[in-house]
């Protein structure tokens, strides 16, 4: 009986710690996104990096930081973050969409096409993926 009580207490503590970590990550996200919207990319990356450290298992964390890296012009770091997001959650079409856009900006149309197609396999009706795929195919000729 003592073991079960200890186990329940441990579960409650772990749940509370997890919730607090997610709450801290949310605050870093809000601060980082606000900095991004103000074009303060260095501050945004610093805050979003804290979010990534708190939630390394969350694809969204890497997608958001990848967006900021791309806007800053650091395409290789953006691709690394988006690739990590895909490793964490290969079913998140947003990671394929954003990474495809980064490849498109780098004029790597074959990889952009591959990412847009991968996203469309997950959601065949996504208009943004379709239009980006069409643009990449036109440029890739």
Residue 58 burial by Cβ neighbours in a 10 Å radius (0-12, 13-18, 19+)? middle
Domains and CATH numbers, the chain: 2-139 (1.25.40.10)
Q: Is the pLDDT of residue 15 over 50?
A: no
* pTM for the structure as a whole: 0.84
CB contact at 8 A, 30 and 43 = no
Which pLDDT score is estimated for 20? 77
**Distance between CA atoms of residues 35 and 116, nearest Å:** 28
Integer Cα distance of 98 and 80 in angstroms: 12
Q: Per-residue pLDDT for 74 more than 50?
A: yes
More confident residue, 3 or 40: 40
Q: Which residues, at least 6 apart from 101, have a Cβ–Cβ distance to it below 8 Å? A: 70, 112, 132
Residue 136 CB coordination number (10 Å): 23
Place of tokens 């073991």: 3
| Range with lowest mean pLDDT among 11-20, 68-77, 114-123, 127-136 | 11-20
Average pLDDT on 108-113 reads: 98
């Amino acid at each position: 009986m003592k073991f079960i009580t200890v186990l329940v207490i441990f579960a409650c503590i772990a749940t509370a710690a997890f919730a607090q970590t997610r709450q801290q990550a949310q605050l870093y996200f809000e601060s980082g996104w606000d900095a991004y919207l103000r074009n303060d990319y260095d501050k945004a990356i610093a805050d979003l990096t804290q979010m990534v450290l708190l939630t390394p298992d969350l694809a969204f964390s890497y997608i958001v930081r990848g967006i900021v890296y791309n806007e800053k012009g650091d395409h290789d770091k953006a691709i690394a973050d988006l690739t990590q997001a895909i490793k964490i959650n290969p079913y998140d079409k947003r990671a394929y969409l954003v990474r495809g856009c980064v490849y498109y900006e780098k004029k790597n149309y074959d990889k952009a096409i591959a990412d847009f197609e991968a996203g469309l396999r997950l959601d065949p009706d996504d208009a943004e993926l379709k239009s980006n795929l069409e643009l990449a195919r036109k440029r890739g000729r």
